[in-house]
Amino acid sequence: QVQLQQSGPGLVKPSETLSLTCTVSGDSFKSYYWSWIRQRPGKGLEWLGYIFHSASPSYNPSLKTRVTISVDTSKNQVSLNLTSVTAADTAVYYCASTEGGLFEYFHYWGQGTLVTVST
Amino acid sequence: QSALTQPASVSGSPGQSITISCTGTSGDVGDYDVVSWYQQHPGKAPKLMLYEVTKRPSGVSDRFTGSKSGNTASLTISGLRADDEADYYCSSYAGHTNYVFGSGTSVTVL
């Protein structure tokens, strides 16, 4: 069973950078692509991007200029950085394993981290 | 990329069947047989229920079935139970390494 544990601050100031980490348990880290997905309050889900341990990340075109996803294979961790945040970035952020021929479904999910952007 | 269109709410009585639609375009649902469905209970992470339109992950009840016709995919829940009450989201590949989710459907068990 793949388990994902998220960590990071729940409060970020406007214009600053949101940073979250997802730690993957077990030996599966190098077997999957890993995505970040967010859910704004009362809204649907939005894919932010994904990464494989040995490949370049891919990002949602609408956020591409502000999102960076990286991996630390020594720690089985996937990280998300979102720069220049505004109140519109307030959301629950999830990491998830990404599978399928087009990496199109999200099987195992982290517990979610509510990030509020506010002074 | 616009969200896929789902009905805001669907309801049914215990034991009944309900169907949730997910309408996209020829650039996403219509072009790719990779629609997936997620169940989300309040305050919880989404749970994968179906992938590649009709496939169920291990542990998901066969009461959940999927189909697709043209630009519209559907999730049917048979033998509706109280614990099926949740939000449901569809998702599809949308080309050019992009993925789109549905607007979400709230399922109520009467």
Q: Confidence band (pLDDT; 50, 70, 90) for A1?
A: confident
Shortest distance, CA A60 to any CA of chain B (angstroms): 6
Residue A107 pLDDT class (50, 70, 90 cuts): very high
- Mean pLDDT throughout B79-100? 95
Please determine, for residue B1, whether its predicted confidence score (pLDDT) is greater than 80.
no
Tell me what the pLDDT averaged over chain A comes to. Answer: 95
**Interfacial B residues in 83-102 facing A (CB < 8 Å):** 89, 91-93, 96-102
Question: In angstroms, rounded to a whole number, what is the distance separating the alpha carbons of residues A37 and A91?
Answer: 10
Please identify among residues 3-32 of chain B the ones whose CB lies closer than 8 Å to any CB of chain A. 3, 32
With residue A5 as reference, give the H or E element that holds it.
Answer: strand A4-7
- Mean pLDDT for B39-57 is 97
Q: Is B60 on the interface with A (CB under 8 A)?
A: no
Q: Which sign, positive or negative, has the C-alpha torsion B60, B63, B64, B68?
A: positive
